[in-house]
C-alpha cells in the first residue's frame, strides 16, 4: 500500500480545501456561494482518490452544508475509473432526502466523471 503525501497548492482546483476535506473552495469558474451564517460552501465536491466509505461520509456532510447555504445545485466529481465512486455517489443521491434530482454531468461539466444534483426538500 502506498502512503499518501499531500502536495502543495498548485493553482486552480488543486489541493485540499481548508474546510470539509475534499471540498474545493472554487467551482470550475471560481464560483462561490454564500449562505446566511454558513460561510462559503463550494459549488462542487471532488472525490477522486477517495475510498467509497470516505466519499459517502464527505458527500453526506457536503450536501447538508450546501443545502444550508442555499445552493440550488451541486456538482460531484467522482472521476471515471472503475465506476465504484460513481455508483456510491448515485446510490447515496438516489435516497438522500435533500436531493430532488440528479443526473450525469454534461460534457462541459465533466461528463461521465461527474454527477450534478439538484437540492431541495423532496
Predicted pLDDT at 3:
53
**pLDDT mean for each 10 residues of the chain (122 residues):** 47 40 40 50 96 97 96 96 95 96 96 96 65
Helix 52-68 to helix 84-95 angle, to the nearest 10 degrees?
A: 40
**0.85 exceeded by the pTM?**
no
- Report DSSP state, residue 23: B
Cell of 32: 462561490
- Report DSSP state, residue 107: G
8 Å CB contact between 110 and 77: yes
Residue 119, phi then psi, degrees to nearest 5: -95, 150
Predicted pLDDT at 42:
96
- Which candidate, 39, 42, 47, places its Cα nearest to that of 110? 47
Amino acid at each position: 500500500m502506498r502512503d499518501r503525501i499531500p502536495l502543495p497548492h498548485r493553482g486552480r482546483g488543486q489541493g485540499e480545501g481548508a474546510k470539509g476535506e475534499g471540498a474545493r473552495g472554487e467551482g470550475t469558474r471560481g464560483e462561490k456561494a454564500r449562505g446566511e451564517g454558513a460561510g462559503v460552501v463550494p459549488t462542487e465536491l471532488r472525490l477522486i482518490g477517495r475510498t467509497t466509505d470516505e466519499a459517502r461520509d464527505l458527500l453526506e456532510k457536503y450536501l447538508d452544508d450546501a443545502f444550508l447555504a442555499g445552493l440550488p445545485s451541486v456538482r460531484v466529481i467522482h472521476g471515471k475509473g472503475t465506476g465504484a465512486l460513481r455508483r456510491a455517489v448515485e446510490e447515496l443521491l438516489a435516497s438522500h432526502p435533500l436531493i430532488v434530482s440528479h443526473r450525469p454531468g454534461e460534457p462541459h461539466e465533466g461528463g461521465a466523471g461527474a454527477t450534478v444534483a439538484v437540492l431541495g426538500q423532496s
